[in-house]
Amino acid sequence: MKVDFPLILVNFKTYRESLGQKGLELARAAERVSNETGICIAVAPQTPDLFRVASSVGIPVFSQHADPDDPGAHTGGVTPESLKEAGVSGTLLNHSERRLRLDIIEETLRRCSCVGLLTCVCANTPLAGRALASFGPDMIAIEPPELIGSGIPVSKARPEVVGDSVRLIKGISNSVHVLCGAGITSGEDVSAAIKLGAEGVLVASGIVKAGNPLKALMDLADHSVPR
């Protein structure tokens, strides 16, 4: 399944609020908002739930991580093939909570590309974003780690981080899409991000732990279109 931009990518992390059946309901809420607004929303459920969610909803499902292991003797590995087979469309890589070695990132991107999985690599700084652009992932998500989960939106607190990232990444490759994340909870934060050149947002606690995730997502989606 392809993604469109602007994209709202919801990282379920391992929150209790996104576990199993609750994760499925959250994914269905995302599907409903996507259908009603026409904005592309992708979800990244917990790993053991991937097949369950991917076989139940009609929106793109991402893994939160992938290993570069090929099909073989790699106990515990999450291979691109196993994700593809589970109906998954893409994967996050190098999230601040699961940082990877540079060579592993390059190799995993290559493996995902072979298998036909979309890739969204996380970067903590604009320079790291530019570095990652070198490998031509589908998306790069800029997230200053200190703002993750803070409720202080990167797009308002550190607009230069978003702007610089867009400029540096596009300077390497125009075909890499730039998302931003960290502290995004409201539609206003999304508007601000899009004005700065971001093509979408990576969100987590702001949606997963919202009192009413459907309403929170609707607010994000409503503000995702440049006016």
Q: Which residues bind its own copies (CB under 8 A)?
A: 11, 13-16, 19-21, 46-52, 63-65, 69-79, 81-83, 85-86, 88, 92, 94-106, 124-125, 127-128, 130-132, 134-135, 148-149, 168, 172, 204-205
User: Which lies closer to its own copies via its Cβ, residue 192 or residue 201?
Assistant: 201
d(CA 64, CA 74): 18
Query: Which helix (H) or strand (E) is 40 found in, with range?
Result: strand 40-44
Catalytic residue, candidates 65, 95, 177, 223: 95
Amino acid identity of residue 62, one-letter, is F
User: Which lies closer to its own copies via its Cβ, residue 14 or residue 175?
Assistant: 14
User: Which lies closer to its own copies via its Cβ, residue 155 or residue 165?
Assistant: 165
Catalytic-residue membership of 177: no
User: Which lies closer to its own copies via its Cβ, residue 4 or residue 138?
Assistant: 138
Catalytic residue, candidates 65, 143, 177, 223: 143
How many Cα atoms sit within 13 Å of 41 on the Cβ side? 34
When computed from its CA atoms, the radius of gyration of the chain, rounded to whole angstroms, is 16
Exposure string of 158-183, with b = 16+ CB inside 10 Å and e = fewer, is bbebbbbbbebbbebeeebbbbbbbb
Q: Which residues are catalytic?
A: 95, 143
